[in-house]
Amino acid sequence: MSIKQGGLLLLALSLWAAPLWAETVDHSAHAPSPASKGSARKILYYRNPMGLPDTSPVPKKDGMGMDYIPVYADEVATAGSGAVKIALDKVQKLGVKTEEVALRPVTRTIRAVGTVQVDERKLHIVSPKYEGWIEKLHADATGQSVKKGQTLMEVYSPALVLAQQEYLAAHRAEARLKDADQETRLMAGELAESALSRLRNWDIGDEQIKRLRNQGKANKSLSIISPVSGVILEKSAIQGMRFVPGEMLYRIADLSTVWVLADVFEQDMGMVREGQAAEVTLSAMPGKIFHGRVGFVYPTLTSETRTVKVRIEMPNPDGTLRPALYATVQLAAPTGNSKVMTVADSAVLDSGTRQVVLVERGEGLYEPRPVRIGSKGGGYVEILDGVKVGEKVVVRANFLIDAEANLKAALGHFAH
């Protein structure tokens, strides 16, 4: 490397570490003198205060009148051993903070996005099993809330009228033949039970059958009631229309519980389990957190997005969670069942191919130590090798210390 290229490199390093070594510049009127014979520290040479590749065996000033900085023998020895020495006052000014290597459980947060959906197990379809006409519509709007047992509409059906008449006739015959022989009574009872079963098979409720027996005559129209409490999501029923067996007239959803279908990336699927706790936030209600649990992990993967759908079941007693709302999901996924050796994630200096932490060896003395890292989560990273439990590592200002070490190593190289 040429002197010119080396000068450019040192200048770049000096700009990065300027807050560190600028504090060491002596702005007094007199340049520092070499250490006396009784001094504990020996000055080897003086370096340029701006980081240029220029050293001097004696004190001097640069072109701007700034004093050259002394380089001591113990600093060079420390740098040669791989550690870096920082003055205590500089450590305080930089705000260097250390933290012990400790055993902790590592928890990783998995984030995903999804939408609120209707609980499919609480979705009901109102679909008559007979032909008829809608004479009066009571639940006449989509989005309307209904209660279980509430009348949705009143219908006329010739088949229903005939079934009522058959039941009444069989019921009267059974009453008249109560004193007849056993075989006749059994036959009359079977006819009455058969007519009653037909009405029940057509979803005629016990209340309406009881009213039919009390009145003693067939009703022209009968009520279709709601099978569940919920909200009408879809309505095709119109007053006066004719319907056929199996036609959907209402789709009603019970929203007391809802699902959140979240898309989790395939690299995170190994840490998602049924029963896992989940926190859900909605764009429509910022700042409010809802809680639920993973109810099911779908067995298929979407090839276009490389995600797997995860169903989170959530209570919704007040109806706040509406279907189709966008949601953000956070799943707390422990990476193991036991505690592992960890440091704060800010302690690791990662170059991409090599990970290093700065271990505190004494007051102002820091040793760069290569480590192997494992799982990450909760602001901590697992350390597989390189440090021991109880050792202190730098978790704040470690980038500045690293820059100072690089600068001193480069200056030492040019000095030699």
> Which pLDDT belongs to residue 178?
75
Going by pLDDT thresholds of 50, 70 and 90, the confidence category of residue 78 is low
Which range scores top for mean pLDDT: 183-192, 287-296, 376-385, 393-402? 287-296
Among 196-210, 298-312, 325-339, which stretch is predicted with the lowest mean pLDDT? 325-339
What was the pLDDT predicted at 147?
94
**Residue 275 DSSP symbol:** T
pLDDT value for 332: 79
Q: Is the pLDDT of residue 20 over 70?
A: no
Spatial distance between the Cα atoms of 409 and 368, rounded to a whole number of angstroms: 13
Query: pLDDT at position 4, please?
Result: 45
Is pLDDT of 77 > 90? no
Token pair 């298929």 is found at 300
Residue 14 is predicted with a pLDDT of 47
Query: In the chain, what are the domain boundaries?
Result: 3-83, 97-106+338-396, 109-120+255-334, 128-247
* 3-class SS of residue 246: coil
| pLDDT above 50 (res 321) | yes
What class does CATH assign to 97-106+338-396?
Answer: mainly beta
Question: Model confidence at 115, in pLDDT bands (50, 70, 90)?
Answer: very high
Q: Give 240 or 107, the one with higher predicted confidence.
A: 240
User: pTM for the whole thing?
Assistant: 0.57
pLDDT of residue 29: 35
pLDDT in tens, 360-392: 888 788 888 899 988 777 788 889 998 999 999
Q: Has residue 44 got a pLDDT over 70?
A: yes
Q: Which residues contact 269 (CB under 8 A, 6 or more apart)?
A: 297, 308
Q: 109-120+255-334 in CATH: which number?
A: 2.40.30.170
How far apart, in Å, do the first and last CA atoms of the chain sit? 14
Contacts of 387 (CB under 8 A, 6+ apart): 101, 341, 343, 357, 359, 369, 371, 393
Spatial distance between the Cα atoms of 247 and 173, rounded to a whole number of angstroms: 36
In the predicted model, is pLDDT for residue 156 greater than 60?
A: yes
What is the per-residue pLDDT for 235? 94
Query: Residue 11: pLDDT above 50?
Result: no
pLDDT at 31: 41
What percent of the chain has a predicted confidence (pLDDT) above 70? 83
Q: Kind and range of the H or E element at 272?
A: none
| Selection from 372, 360, 354 nearest residue 397 by Cα | 360
Choose between 273 and 34: higher pLDDT.
Answer: 273
pLDDT at 366: 85
Report how far residue 47's alpha carbon sits from residue 359's, in angstroms, rounded to the nearest whole number: 27
Confidence of residue 280 (pLDDT cuts 50, 70, 90): very high
Query: Rounded distance, CA 309 to CA 381, Å?
Result: 28
Q: Average model confidence (pLDDT) for the chain?
A: 81
Instruction: Identify the residue whose tokens are 């075989």.
Output: 183
Q: Are both 97-106+338-396 and 109-120+255-334 of the same fold?
A: no
Dist. CA 334–CA 324, nearest whole Å: 30
What's at 183, amino acid-wise? E
Q: What is the pLDDT of residue 239?
A: 93
The pLDDT score that the predictor gives to residue 290 is 94
The listed range with the strongest mean pLDDT (72-76, 156-160, 188-192, 202-206) is 156-160
Of the listed ranges 150-154, 241-245, 337-341, the least confidently predicted one is 337-341
H or E element, residue 153: strand 151-156
Element (H, E) at 287: strand 285-302
Q: Which has more confidence, 186 or 248?
A: 248
Burial class of residue 362 in the structure, from the number of CB atoms within 10 Å of its CB (0-12 exposed, 13-18 middle, 19+ buried): exposed
Task: Tell me: pLDDT of 319 over 90.
Answer: no
Q: Write the DSSP symbol of residue 61.
A: B
The more confident residue out of 406 and 104 is: 104
